[in-house]
Amino acid sequence: MEAEETMSITSSIEPDHTLTVFKGTGTISFDEITEAMKHFYGGKPTLNVLWDLTDATEIPLTSEEVQRIASMPPRYNGSKRPAGKTAIVVDDDFFFGLARMFEIHGTVNQLPHSVQIFRELTSARKWIESGSPDVP
């Protein structure tokens, strides 16, 4: 498993699951999220992505920034993962609301992959490993 750090966001690749895991800790800024995504889509993106934000203490994003993040994958060749899944795991109500805004903006922007929000890492991994885009 390879690991790479971008300030308060660490990424690791699990080749057996064609999965990139982004782990956010502490305060996570808009710039850190967009840099992680640019790096991901600029390389060889895995089919599936899991954002584990359970150790985040602050994510100071505006609704406009959430919308800009949701529009990034198509601009950065999101077509590289058309059958992929993105799971976002949060355990804070405010962060859950931000993640839902991302999911809604992603639907509006017609992201080429499925996005689901979870409160538990186990449920997110189960969904990613399932063959269905629907939540089990």
The CATH number corresponding to 2-129 among 3.30.750.24, 1.10.10.10, 3.10.310.10, 3.30.465.10 equals: 3.30.750.24
115 exposed, middle or buried (CB, 10 Å; 0-12, 13-18, 19+)? buried
Percent of all residues in the chain with a pLDDT value above 70, rounded to a whole number: 82
Percent of all residues in the chain with a pLDDT value above 90, rounded to a whole number: 54
Mean pLDDT of 104-131: 86
Mean residue pLDDT across the chain: 85
List strand residue ranges (DSSP E) for 7-113, in order: 9-14, 19-27, 48-58, 85-89
Mean pLDDT of 75-104: 83
Mean pLDDT of 59-85: 78
Partner residues linked to 24 by β-bridges: 9
The model carries a pTM of 0.86
Cα atoms in the Cβ-side hemisphere of radius 13 Å centred on 49: 27
| Length, in residues, of the chain | 136
Model confidence at 2: pLDDT above 70: no
